[in-house]
Amino acid sequence: MKQHNGSETSLTIRLNRYLAQCGLGSRRKCDALIAAGHIYCNGKPVTAMGLQLNPASDRIEYRGKQVRCISAPEYLAYNKPLEIMVTADDPQGRMTVYRALAAAGGRDVRHLRYVGRLDYQSAGLLLLTNDGDLIHALTHPRFHIKKVYHVKVERRLAPEEIAALLDGIDSEGQRLHAAAIREISLHEAQRQQHWYEVDLYEGKNRQLRRMFEALSIRVGRIRRVQFGSVKLGGLLPGEVRPLTAKEVAALKNTGYNDRGRGRSPNK
């Protein structure tokens, strides 16, 4: 192994990118694992964030186990039901996304990482993949990936409330914005209910709930129906399906270029 002082050679790769390709998460998450001292190279803890390694000769370990690149990338769309924790393990013993996916698909998918989160009481589209570069491109705040949600609230929004959501809501020291809000009727039985379609380009924790709560508006349900170019469509709650080649290509074109490096939407 060697320190990173320039571009990668044909034999070496930057450590955080290698870890991402092995399915340990986005490059940002892998940087955190390195900083926390969880990554070992040839038996020694890694201390240099810019470390370059040769996958053919260097042994990389995470928590005592050798890390190997996953040869075949996988991309899944999952319609997360309510009361599923988007996490690997839950101290309270609640159903996790990985246990639910194993039940739905009949196989262990713990080698995949979820893209973004949905809270316990939210439902809808969740993407999972072992493509670390794509995870980075779809979750880094810099790239402003569009997410679309259907939100049920207790009453019809006043024009000034919609304007406030679009202009920005101050919550817990953050400024939270909705990119667009449209009133919708999902079907005849729900015409007396108050549903809105909300576009977000941010990914703050519990963002929609915090925004509506700041206006003293109670949220009944939240369902994500689109992430980037992928739509929930007719996928039923609890169902999982592989993304099509066209969907994967569209996600990659949205988030990063053909060398796997993210690009800003303004460029």
> Is a pLDDT exceeding 80 seen at residue 162?
yes
| pLDDT-based confidence at residue 56 (cuts at 50, 70, 90) | confident
Question: Using the 8-state DSSP alphabet, how is residue 184 labeled?
Answer: E
pLDDT digits (tens, 9 = 90+) for 76-85: 999 999 999 9
pLDDT digits (tens, 9 = 90+) for 166-188: 999 999 999 999 999 999 976 65
Average pLDDT taken over every residue of the chain: 85
CATH of 13-66, one of 3.30.450.20, 3.30.390.30, 3.10.290.10, 2.60.40.1220: 3.10.290.10
H helices present in the chain, as ranges: 15-21, 27-35, 97-105, 132-139, 159-167, 207-214, 245-255
CATH class belonging to 146-227: alpha beta
CA nearest 154: which of 224, 216, 82, 223? 216
CATH of 75-141+230-255, one of 3.30.70.580, 3.40.50.300, 3.90.226.10, 3.40.50.720: 3.30.70.580
pLDDT of res. 192: 67
| pLDDT-based confidence at residue 120 (cuts at 50, 70, 90) | very high
| pLDDT-based confidence at residue 231 (cuts at 50, 70, 90) | very high
Top mean pLDDT of 2-16, 87-101, 176-190 is at 87-101
> Is a pLDDT exceeding 80 seen at residue 69?
no
The first and second tokens of residue 145, run together, are: 């990936």
> Is a pLDDT exceeding 60 seen at residue 265?
no
- Whether 13-66 and 75-141+230-255 share one fold: the answer is no
pLDDT of res. 257: 42
What's the whole-model pTM score? 0.72
Active site residues: 119
Query: Hey, what amino acid is at 174?
Result: Q
> Is a pLDDT exceeding 80 seen at residue 224?
yes
Question: Which of 225 and 23 is assigned the larger pLDDT?
Answer: 225
Q: Do the strands 123-129 and 219-227 form a parallel or antiparallel pair, or are they unpaired?
A: parallel
Query: Hey, what amino acid is at 46?
Result: V
List all residues 6 or more positions away from 58 whose beta carbon is below 8 Å from its beta carbon: 1, 41, 42
pLDDT of res. 57: 82
Q: Domain limits of the chain?
A: 13-66, 75-141+230-255, 146-227
